[in-house]
Amino acid sequence: AGQVQMVYIDPPYGIKYGSNFQPFVNQTAFKSTDNDDDLTAEPEMIRAFRDTWELGIHSYLTYLRDRILLARELLTNTGSVFVQISDVNLHLVRVILDEVFGEKNFISLITVKKGSVMFAKKLLNSASFFVLWYAKNKEVVKYRQLYTGRDLQWFADNAGSHLWIENTRSGEFRKASPDERKDIIGFLSKNSDLRIFGTWSANAQGSEKQAGYVFNGMTYYPPRGTQWKTSYPEGLDKLRTAHRLISEGKSLRVKLYPDDSPGTAINNIWEGIGAPSDKIYVVQTTDEIAHRCLQMTTDPGDLVFDPTCGSGT
């Protein structure tokens, strides 16, 4: 007790048969059904299912509450608990976590986009599931910021028409053409003396009226409804000294290179994770989810507890 840094719980998402039993290891396409005649399993398995959830959702919530109470006892003061769940019982599970850990220790509801979405018969498709994150003590919880990588194509796509190509030898630069932007990695691989940069607005939304800034003999003003994004004039002076200001038409913009920010801090929307490539269980989760939870809240040598074995992960 009090020694575990992180607990990861990936329980059955509910009391449907398909969330709890898989008759054959090699049949990952098995789907939940309410018709007992369609359940290709031994009678003993059916009875076990009925006994486990004898009181329906009440049995399920009791099962989950017991494990969440245990998780709190096991966690160190800087620890975290993650509970993976679908939208069906999300609201009920969150109430239990609020009760056990306290509303003040809720950190985030992580939305994970599914690798594939089945066609719905009616109404909206369900394209995501969730990971609830609570801390033993939010004030001192251990947290390590994670980042997703950015490649040159990502940079070019986000810069759009404000992408420039610079000659590293002469220092000359020009706007990239649409064709160059579409395959910037291929273009640069054939031109070792070239590199790219993008420009972003030097203005942010605001109503404070600010003076103009003189750059290369011209005076630039924030457009109506905006103000300088950095301090005036000190911040703009620093950018000019670092050769990071550039004029485009009537606008003053900031030059950024791909190496300035090679990663994007992840938030609570997780996309592009996909399904396990070697899936052998219907409910098996890709290990990337547990991997991120580990990296965010633990350090090498910390104790981690997974009472549900990641549903086969």
DSSP code per residue over 277-295: TT--STTPPPHHHHHHHHH
Strand, coil or helix: 270: strand
Q: What pLDDT, on the 0 to 100 scale, is given for residue 302?
A: 97
Query: Consecutive sets of 10 residues in the chain, 313 residues long: mean pLDDT of each?
Result: 96 70 57 52 66 78 93 97 93 96 98 75 83 98 92 93 95 95 95 95 84 93 90 94 93 94 90 76 81 96 89 67
Strand, coil or helix: 31: coil
Integer angstrom CA distances of residue 107 from 45, 93, 146: 38, 15, 16
Which pTM was predicted? Answer: 0.72
63: exposed, middle or buried (Cβ count in 10 Å: 0-12, 13-18, 19+):
middle
Q: What pLDDT, on the 0 to 100 scale, is given for residue 311?
A: 63
Q: What pLDDT, on the 0 to 100 scale, is given for residue 39?
A: 55
Q: What pLDDT, on the 0 to 100 scale, is given for residue 293?
A: 96
Q: What pLDDT, on the 0 to 100 scale, is given for residue 156?
A: 95
Structure tokens at 17: 């048969």
Q: What pLDDT, on the 0 to 100 scale, is given for residue 42?
A: 66
Q: What pLDDT, on the 0 to 100 scale, is given for residue 50?
A: 67
74: exposed, middle or buried (Cβ count in 10 Å: 0-12, 13-18, 19+):
buried
